[in-house]
Amino acid sequence: MDMDTLVRNLRILMKADMILAELHMRRLAAKSGLFFFALVIAAFGAVMLGLAGFFLLQEAYGTIVAAAICGGAALVIALLLLLIAASLKPGREAQVALEVHEAALQAVSRDMKAAGGQAQRYAAMVSAPLQLLPGVILPLLTSLLRMFRGRSTPGS
């Protein structure tokens, strides 16, 4: 496991998270804008239809029925805009960014497991230095003794 690989995968993970956050904020801004626009249209429609329709319908149906018809029309328009805003879905970019995020997260997890394994091996070597004696130190001492014996020959 290479530390550079771990850092690279962490950077990719961070970049994917930033892209996902940006895309989420864009979608949230678009939905909020449409919700606000729906609210403005609903208010404007309620006022205008309320005035014009009320005066028109008041003579034919009476005051109560005219008010109900005008208010209902404004609410139907507002409901349609709210349904359109609620149906906005994330685009293809969000799916690609999520796939990159998942791949980077798996790579970082793999690298962290490998680093954990190396750390455990180093910890075992440090915690039990006598275990190094047969496997590392004795062959090293043997090689050093042979090297020194080779130099102390009479031809030197």
Write out pLDDT tens, residues 63-91.
888 888 878 887 888 899 899 988 988 77
pTM: 0.37
Helix 92-127 vs helix 3-61: crossing angle, to nearest 10: 150
**What is the domain partition of the chain in residue ranges?**
3-149
Distance CA 125, CA 139 (A): 17
For the ranges 29-43, 97-111, 133-147, the one whose mean pLDDT is highest:
29-43
Distance CA 2, CA 114 (A): 9
Does residue 60 register a pLDDT over 80? Answer: yes
